[in-house]
Structure 1
Amino acid sequence: MYRQLTNLLVILLISTTTFAARNNNTITGKVIEKENGKALSYATISVHDKDSKVVGGAISNEEGKFSVEKLMNDSYKVKISFIGFKDTTLFVKASDSQEVNLGTIALSPDATTLKSAVVTAKVPVIEQKLDKIVMNVAEAVSTQGSTALDILRKAPGISIDPSGNVLLNGNSVQVWIDNRPSNLSGQDLEALLSGTDGSTIDKIEIIAHPSAKYDAEGSSGIINIRTKKNFAKGVSGSLRGTYDASPYNSDLFNGLSGTANLNYRSEKTNTTISYSPKYEESYEKFTSNTDLGSGLILKGETLSESINKRYNYRLSHDYFINKKSVVGIIVSGLGRNDKENTNDDITGSKLYNNGSLIRTNNTSIDSKSDFDNIYTNLNFTHTFKDNQEITLNADYGYYDIGSFSHQENYYFNSTGGIEILPEIYRSDSKQYLNIYSAKADYEQIIFKKIKMEAGAKFAESLTDNNLLRENNVSGNWIKDNELSSLFNYKENIIAAYISAATQLSPKLSAKAGLRAEYTISDGEWISADTTTTKKYIDIFPTAFIGYNPNKNLMIALTYDMRIQRPNFNQLNPFRIYVDANSSLEGNPNLIPQYTHQTSLSFIYKQHFSIGLHGQFTNNTIIQNTNFNPETGEKFLVWDNFGKLNFFGGFFNITELGITKWLTLNVGVFAANVKNKADDYEKESFFTSMNINTTVSLPKDTKIELSGFVNSGIPYGYFKVRPMGELDFGVKKGVMKNQGTLSLNCTDIFNTMRSNASLENGLIKDYNFISKWKSQKISLSFTYRFGNGKAAKIRKVGESEEAERAESEKVNN
C-alpha cells in the first residue's frame, strides 16, 4: 500500500509538469526481474525531454506492462526504476503518432539500494491481542546480540527454572516454534534455545489461555516463538560456539556447545537447516535428613559426576506451488548420551539412634542413559480466496529411550564390621514410543466480520516398556522376577473444535470456542497380569473479551479449561532404585488433572502490564513420597494429590528505556496458594520476581545484570523453600556487527539450590538439599552471514503427545 501511494504521488507530480500540447505518440514496454524473468508490477517509468524535464510517466501493471501516451514528436530519455533494483535508462525518438515499443526491460538487483530501502513503521514492543500477548522482538533494544533463551527471560511474565524449563507466572508451559511443539523440555530445550541466534526471532507470543484451536493438553499455556521468515533470496545463516567452566572444590567441570544455522531462499522454496551439538561435564550433590521418630535419624549424601553428550537438528523445507498453495516438510531430532558415576568415598547413608551411629551404608552407582528421537511433519496450506484458508498437518514421532545402572550397596555396623551381605544388582530399561497424528484446520470470514475457525485431529501413541532387573548371587547374575517388568500402553485421542471471533465495536472485541477431546487408553502390565482401560470425553470452553478505550490502554478478560494427562513415564509401573534408600515408581492408575484458569490483564503504553490470574486444579499429579518407618527407605510414586489452587496478581515492565543507555525488564508475581487433599490442607503466600537491566555502551557493547528470587511455596505434601540467583554478562558486537562476543557468569554468589521438606504425616520430618552445576562462566561467539534480495512474504499453515514422551530425571 505504501509503495502504491508513493507511485501515485509520482504520477501526480509527473502529470502536473507535463506539457499541455501533446501529440499521439506512445511509448510501451514490459518490466521484469533479470534473475528469474518475473514481471515487476508498480515499477516507475518516467519520460524526460532534452532539458531533463519530466514530460510523461506511468506505472507498470501486474504483468509488468506500461504505456506512456500523448507524447510530442521529439527525442526522449526513458527512466525505469523500482526499489531494490538498479535504474535503467533508454533513449528513444517518437514521431508521426507512432507507438515506440521498448520491448522487455530486465532490471538487476541493487544490493546497496536494497540495504537502505527499508520502509519502517513504529511497532510497539508489547501488543495485547484478544487471546495472547505479543512481544515484538525486533523492537526490543536489549535483545540485540542475544540468544533465544536470553530473549525469553525478558518477555513479560516468563522465567527459566534451574532445570531449563520455561515458566509463565511460575507455571510450566509448552514451548512451540512457528506454531508447532518443540517436543523438548528441561536441559534439551535449554540447549536448543541457547543455541538459537536471537536475530532470527521475529515475535514471542505469550498464550496464557490457548484458544480452542490448540490442544487442551497442559496445565498452563503456550509460548510460541515466531521466527523471521527469511525474505532474502540466497544463502544466510549463523554460527555459534560456547565454552563454559564451573569450579567445584578442586575440580573444574567444562562444557562445549555449538550451533550452525543455514537458510536458503529462492522464488519457489525456503529451506532451513540447524544443528547443535553439546558436551558437558556436571555434578550434583544431594543431602537428606530423615527423622523417623523414636530417636532414629537417617542422614544421606550422594555426590555424582556426569558427562553428557547431546545434539539436536532441524530441517524444514517449504515449496511454494503457486500464490495460493504451499507444501512443507519438517524433520527434527534429538540424541542424548549421559554417563553418571557416584563418588564412592562420599555416597551413602548413616543411621543414628539417639545420636549414636548404629549402621553405615556405602553406595557405588554407575549408570548410563540414551535418548534418540526423530520427528517428522508434512504440512499443506491452501488459500481459496481472501480470508479463507485450510491447513493440513501429518506428524510422526519415534523415541528410543534406554538406561542401564549398576549398583553396589555395602552395610557396616557401628564398629565397622559387615552387618549384612552386600547388595549388588543391575537394571536395564528399554522404552520404545511411536506417535502418529493428523489434523486439519479451516478458517474463513463469514458475514463480513466474524472470523470462524474449525478443525479436527486424531492422535495415536504406542509405548513398549521393558525393565530387566538382575541380582548378583555368588558371582552369578540372576533375574529378579519381582522387580523385572513388561508394560505396554496405547492411547488414542480424537478431537474437534470450533471458535468464532468478531469486532463488536471499534473498541470492543470478543472470541469464544469449544473443543471436544475423546480419549481411549489401554495399559497392559504384562508381568503383573494387570490391564487398565480408560475412556472419557471432555469439553473445553474458551472465552476472550478485549477492550481498547484509547491508544495507550489495552484490557483483556480470558477464561479457559485445560487437561494434563499423565506422561508415559509417570504411567510406567517400573520401580527403579536410585540409591540404597530411594526408588522411583510410576502408577498406571493415574487419572488426568483438570485446570480452570482465568485472568484480567491491562497493558499500558506498551511497556507496563498488570493483572489478576487464577488457576484451580483438581487431581493434581505429583510425586508422592512413602516411607518405611523402620529403615527410612523412601519410595517416590506418582499419584493424584487433590486440589492445588492459587489466585494472585502480576506486574511486568518490558523494555522500558530509563535513559538512552539503560533498559529495564521486571516481572513480579504474587499469589495465595492452597493445597488440599483429604484431611491435609496447606495455605501460604507465594511471590516471585525476576529482573534484567541492560546498559548500552559505545562501540556496540552491552552489560547485563539479571536475577530472580522465589519465595517458599507448598506443592502437594512438600514445602519448597526460597531460591534465587544473580547473573552478569557482557556482550560486544564485532566485525561490523556481524559477530557478537559474549562473556557470562551465572549464579555469581553460588546461591542456587533446591531445598524442600515433606509434611505428609507418615514420618516426623524429612528434608533435602540439592546442589548442582549452577555457577559457571561461559564465553560465546556468534557470527552471522547472508546475502540476497527481498522476496515476498508467505505463511504456512502442530503434536502435543510428544511433550509427554520426554525422558525424565527425577530428583530423589
Structure 2
Amino acid sequence: MTKYVSYTLILAFLLISHRALSQTNPKVISGKIVDASGVPIEFATVLAGNPSDNKPITGTTTVEDGSFQLEVNSNKFYVEISFMGFTTKRLDEIPIEQEQIELGTITLKEDTQQLSEVVVEGEISQTQFKLDKRVFNVGADLSSTGASALEVLNNVPSVTVNIEGQVSLRGSQGVQMLVNGKPSVIANEQGNALGTLTADMIERIEVITNPSAKYDAEGTSGIINIVLKKEEKKGLNGAVTLNTGTPNNHSVGFSLNSRTEKFNLFSQIGFGHRTFPSDNESENRNLETGNYTNSFGESDKNETFFNLILGTDYHINEYNVLTLSGNFAYEWETENADALFSTFDSSNSLTQAYDRNEKTEATNPKYAYELQYKKDFEGNEDQMLLVSATGNLFAKDQTSDFENLYVTDGLADELQRSRTDFGQADYIFKIDYTHPWAEKYTIETGSQYQINDVENDFAISNFNGATYIEDPNLTNVFEWTQKVLGLYGTAAYEGEKWGIKMGMRFEDTQVNTLLENTNERNDQNYNNFFPSGHTSYKFSDNLSLQAGYSKRIFRPRLWDLNPFINIRNNINRRSGNPDLLPEYTDSFEVTSIYKIGNLNMNVGVFYRVTEDVVETIVENIVLEDGKDATLSRPENIGTNNTTGVEFNAKYIPVRWLSFTNDFNYSRFSREGEFDGSSFDFSGNQWTNRLMTKIKLPADVDIELVGNYQSDYRTLQQEVTENLFMDFGARKKIFKGKAILNLSVRDVFASRIRETQTFNDAFYRRDFGQQGRFITFGISFGFGKGEAMEFSGQKRF
C-alpha cells in the first residue's frame, strides 16, 4: 500500500510539474496580416482554437501595421484569421514544438461577393455589393471626419448632394430616404433635420438603385437607407469630442454605452452652434417689354441645436430581442438677409430700387421613437421575424419680417410678415418574416401600414401704417393625410455561382388634402402592383455579373402639394400644387464587378422609363404694384427615358496611397406637352469624383477629394457646371485613443448654385454660393470606447 501511495504521489507530482511547466512556457505566436496588394489590415481578428471542439482558446486583433502577437497555453491548437470583407483563413499545421512561433506574412483574400448582412467596423470606408443593394460601410477615415450626414452621403458612390442639401442618385432626385430601414422625419429634406445626424452616429449607408419588392415602392431613383450604430461592446464605454470652425461651427458630442448579458444601453448627446452665410444674385428679364430687375444680397442662417438619442436592447433569451429607442432634437433658428433690388426699363434706365431686409426666427422640435421585436429561430440563424412600430413628429413655429426700404424718391416703405405653424406626424407599423430552407432557398413576406398627417397654418400679412392685415389670397390652413398599405412576397435562390430573386408588392394609397379656409378638397385613391427581379452570376473570384428590374412610384411630397406661396424673394415666388399625380418608373440595370491586381472595378449600365414626370414650371406674373415677377410650381408633364453608365474603381498602387473614382453619365429624352406647348427635348449630364488618400509618417493621413458636376438641362432650366475640392488631415495620438482632425470643405470656394430659366416671355438667372468651411476637432474615447467624430455641420 505504501508503494502504491508513493507511485501515486510521484505521478501526481509529474503531472503537476508538467502543467506548471506548460503554464510558465506558453507558445508565443506572431505574424503580419495583409491584403492581396500588400496593404496591412488593421483590426483583423486572430484566434487560437481547440481542434477537438472548434472552440476558441484565446485571441487578439492586429495593430496598425497588420502585426499581431498571441500567447497560447496549449499544445494542440489551430490559428484562424478573419476580417470583414475578406475570406476567413485557417492554419492547422502549426510547429508546436517551438515556443516562439513566427507565422510570417499572411495574405487574406478579399470576399467581394458576400450576400449576407455585413457590419464593418474599420478605419477605411468601403463599399460592398449584395444581390440587390450596395453597402457603404462608414469607417473612421477622413470622409467622415468632422462631417454631417449629408457630407457622408456625398462620399457614397453614385450619390450626389448639392449645395442646398438635395440628394440625388445617379443624377436624379426622387430618392426615398430611410433611417434604419424606415421613413423618418430626420431624413425628410423639408424638415431640414439631417444635420442632427453626424458621421459618428452612422454605421453604414445602403444604396438600393433597383429595390426588390421587400422595400417600399416609393422613390423613382431608388432608396438610400442610413443605418445608425448600436454599441455592442461589453462593459462601460464612450467617447467625447469637441469641434470648432469658421464660419461659426462649434459643437460638443458625448456618447455613453453599457453592455451586459441581457441589456445593451446606448446613448448619445450633442449640442452646438453654427452659421451658414450665403451670397445670392438674381435677374428677372421681361423679353416682351425689355424691362428687367436684378438683386444682389447676402444672408446668414444661425442655428443652435441639441440632439439626444436613448435606447436599449433587451435580450429576453438567445432568440428574442426587444428594442426601445427614442431621439429628440431641438433647433433654434435665426436668419438675417439683405438684398438690393433694382428695376430698369428697356433703355437700361433705373426706374426703381429698394433694400429688402428679412429677419426670421424659428423653433424646430423633432421626436422619433421605435419599438421593435426580433425573433430568431433555433437551428437556422437566417430565419427571422421582425415586428416594429415607429413614430416621427416634427414641428416648426416660424415668423419672418420683411422690409422694403425704397432708395428711389416718392415711394413709401413696405412692411410684410409671414407666419408658419407647422406640424407633421408619421407612423409606421411593419412586420417582416424571412424563412430560408435547404441552405440555398429563401422566402420573405411581410406588410406595412404607413400614416402621414400634416397641418400647416400659414399667413402673409401687409402693414397698413397702423397694424398688420392678413392677405386672404395668401393665407390658409393646409391639411394633408396620406395612408399607404403594402403587402409583399419574395423568393430567392442563392447557389455558389448563380442566384436569382423574384418578388411582387401591392400598395393601396389614400391621399386627402384640404384648404380649410376656402374648403377646397382633393381626394385620391389608387392601388398598384410592383414586380421586381434580380439575378447574379459569379464567373470567378475576380468577376461577377448582376442584373435587376423593378417598378417604382414617386408620390408627391408635402411641399410639392402645399399651395402656399413663398415670398422670401418677392419677385421669384414658389407654390405647390395639390393636384399633382404620382410618377411611375420602370428601372432596368446590369452591373459587373471585377478585380485586376490592385484594381477593383464596378461597371454598370441602366435604363429608366418614367411616366407623369413631376417637373417645375416657371411662369411670368405681374404683381399688384406692377412689378414683373415669376411663379414656380410643380406639374405632371410627359415621359422621360434615361440611359446611363456608371464606373466605380479603387486602385492601391502602394500601401500608403489609394485612389477611388466614381463616374456617372446619363442621357435622357423628354416628351411632353403643357398648356398647348411642346416640351420635347434631350440632353445629358455627368459627374465625377476622385478621392486620393495618402498615409504619412507619424500616424498622419491626408485626403483630397475633387468633384465635378456637368451642366445639364431640365424642362425650362439650364444648371451650371460645378468644380470643387475638399481637403482633410487627421492624426492619431495616445495610441489611437484620441484623434486630431482638420477638415476644409470647398477649398477654393468654387462650389456654386446657378440656374438659368427661360421661355419666350421671360429670362431668369439665380446664383448662390456659401463659400469655404473649415473645422478643427479633437475626439477622445474612454473605457472600451474609441475616438469618434462629431460635427455641427448641417450644410456645405
Taking structure 2 as the reference length, what is the TM-score of the superposition? 0.79
Deviation at 1:306, TM superposition (A): 2.3
In 2, distance between residues paired with 1:745 and 1:83? 43
Give the partner amino acid of 2:261: E
Structure 2 counterparts to residues 774-785 of structure 1, below 5 A: 774-785=771-782
1:522 to 2:512 alignment: yes
1:179 to 2:173 alignment: no
- 1:226-276 deviations in Å (ceiling 9; x for gaps): 56654421122222222121xxxxxxx322123222221111111211123
- 1:209-231 deviations in Å (ceiling 9; x for gaps): 22211111122223334566544
Deviation at 1:50, TM superposition (A): 4.3
- 1:710-729 deviations in Å (ceiling 9; x for gaps): 11111232111101211222
Q: Quick check: 720-729 or 254-263, which moved more?
A: 254-263
Match of 2:374 in 1: 381
- 1:450-494 deviations in Å (ceiling 9; x for gaps): 200000111222212212332211212223222211121222111
Give the partner amino acid of 1:210: P
Give 3-state SS (helix, strand or coil) of 2:559's partner.
Answer: helix
1:170 to 2:182 alignment: no
Match of 1:498 in 2: 489
Contact 1:454 1:498 in 2 (8 A): yes
Distance 1:307 1:448, change over 3 A: closer
Match of 2:577 in 1: 587
1:601 to 2:601 alignment: no
Q: Quick check: 630-639 or 291-300, which moved more?
A: 630-639
Match of 1:744 in 2: 743
In 2, distance between residues paired with 1:586 and 1:113? 69
Match of 2:567 in 1: 577
Match of 1:160 in 2: 161
In 2, distance between residues paired with 1:719 and 1:325? 55
Match of 1:686 in 2: 685
1:368 to 2:361 alignment: yes
Structure 2 counterparts to residues 458-469 of structure 1, below 5 A: 458-469=449-460
1:711 to 2:722 alignment: no
In 2, distance between residues paired with 1:177 and 1:233? 25
In 2, distance between residues paired with 1:141 and 1:535? 47
Deviation at 1:703, TM superposition (A): 0.9
Match of 2:632 in 1: 636
Match of 2:66 in 1: none
Q: Quick check: 316-325 or 604-613, which moved more?
A: 604-613
Contact 2:146 2:199 in 1 (8 A): no
2:442 alignment partner, one of 451, 460, 463 = 451
Match of 2:236 in 1: 235
Q: Quick check: 605-614 or 484-493, which moved more?
A: 605-614
Structure 2 counterparts to residues 213-362 of structure 1, below 5 A: 213-226=214-227, 230-245=231-246, 253-293=247-287, 294-343=289-338, 346-362=339-355
- 1:36-63 deviations in Å (ceiling 9; x for gaps): xxxxxxxxxxx945444999xxxxxxxx
Contact 2:293 2:341 in 1 (8 A): no
Give the partner amino acid of 2:279: K
Match of 1:621 in 2: 614
1:83 to 2:58 alignment: yes
Distance 1:352 1:398, change over 3 A: same
Contact 2:502 2:534 in 1 (8 A): yes
Match of 1:196 in 2: 200
Structure 1, gaps ≥5 residues long: 1-21, 28-46, 56-79, 86-110, 246-252, 790-807
In 2, distance between residues paired with 1:610 and 1:499? 27
In 2, distance between residues paired with 1:147 and 1:467? 34
1:647 to 2:643 alignment: yes
Match of 1:532 in 2: 522
In 1, distance between residues paired with 2:80 and 2:145? 21
Match of 1:208 in 2: 209
In 1, distance between residues paired with 2:244 and 2:19? 62
Distance 1:258 1:626, change over 3 A: farther
1:477 to 2:474 alignment: no
Contact 2:707 2:723 in 1 (8 A): yes
Give 3-state SS (helix, strand or coil) of 1:191's partner.
Answer: helix
Match of 2:50 in 1: none
Give 3-state SS (helix, strand or coil) of 2:195's partner.
Answer: helix
Match of 2:418 in 1: 427
Match of 1:771 in 2: 769
In 2, distance between residues paired with 1:467 and 1:229? 39
In 1, distance between residues paired with 2:463 and 2:154? 49
In 2, distance between residues paired with 1:732 and 1:702? 6
Match of 1:406 in 2: 401
Aligned-CA RMSD value: 3.2
Contact 1:303 1:347 in 2 (8 A): no
Deviation at 1:622, TM superposition (A): 3.4
Match of 2:98 in 1: none
Larger Rg, first or second structure (1 or 2):
1
Deviation at 1:145, TM superposition (A): 6.5
Contact 2:757 2:765 in 1 (8 A): yes
Give the partner amino acid of 1:207: I
Contact 2:148 2:195 in 1 (8 A): no
Distance 1:535 1:687, change over 3 A: same
- 1:75-133 deviations in Å (ceiling 9; x for gaps): xxxxx994369xxxxxxxxxxxxxxxxxxxxxxxxx9999xx99424353554321112
Structure 2 counterparts to residues 667-686 of structure 1, below 5 A: 667-678=662-673, 679-686=678-685
Give 3-state SS (helix, strand or coil) of 1:216's partner.
Answer: coil
Deviation at 1:190, TM superposition (A): 5.3
Structure 2, gaps ≥5 residues long: 1-6, 23-54, 61-69, 74-78, 88-109, 111-125, 787-793
Give the partner amino acid of 2:479: N
In 2, distance between residues paired with 1:164 and 1:580? 23
Contact 1:692 1:704 in 2 (8 A): yes
Match of 1:120 in 2: 82
Give 3-state SS (helix, strand or coil) of 1:761's partner.
Answer: coil
Give the partner amino acid of 1:542: S
- 1:161-203 deviations in Å (ceiling 9; x for gaps): 3234444323344454443445325595653454426xx73x5
Match of 2:52 in 1: none
1:549 to 2:539 alignment: yes
Distance 1:747 1:291, change over 3 A: same
Deviation at 1:617, TM superposition (A): 2.2
Give 3-state SS (helix, strand or coil) of 2:517's partner.
Answer: helix
Deviation at 1:688, TM superposition (A): 0.4
Deviation at 1:669, TM superposition (A): 0.7
Distance 1:466 1:548, change over 3 A: same
Deviation at 1:620, TM superposition (A): 2.5
- 1:397-447 deviations in Å (ceiling 9; x for gaps): 2221222111122456xxx3224x433221211111222221111111246
Distance 1:239 1:643, change over 3 A: farther
Give 3-state SS (helix, strand or coil) of 2:473's partner.
Answer: coil
1:488 to 2:474 alignment: no
In 1, distance between residues paired with 2:336 and 2:395? 23
Match of 1:75 in 2: none
Match of 1:104 in 2: none
Give 3-state SS (helix, strand or coil) of 2:665's partner.
Answer: strand
Contact 1:755 1:768 in 2 (8 A): yes
Give 3-state SS (helix, strand or coil) of 1:353's partner.
Answer: coil
- 1:550-581 deviations in Å (ceiling 9; x for gaps): 11112100111221212222222222311332
In 1, distance between residues paired with 2:469 and 2:536? 66
Contact 1:690 1:706 in 2 (8 A): yes
In 2, distance between residues paired with 1:321 and 1:556? 39
In 2, distance between residues paired with 1:152 and 1:624? 29
Distance 1:355 1:235, change over 3 A: same
Deviation at 1:143, TM superposition (A): 6.6
In 1, distance between residues paired with 2:443 and 2:556? 32
Give 3-state SS (helix, strand or coil) of 1:214's partner.
Answer: coil
In 2, distance between residues paired with 1:310 and 1:546? 45
Deviation at 1:670, TM superposition (A): 1.0
Q: Quick check: 142-151 or 375-384, which moved more?
A: 142-151
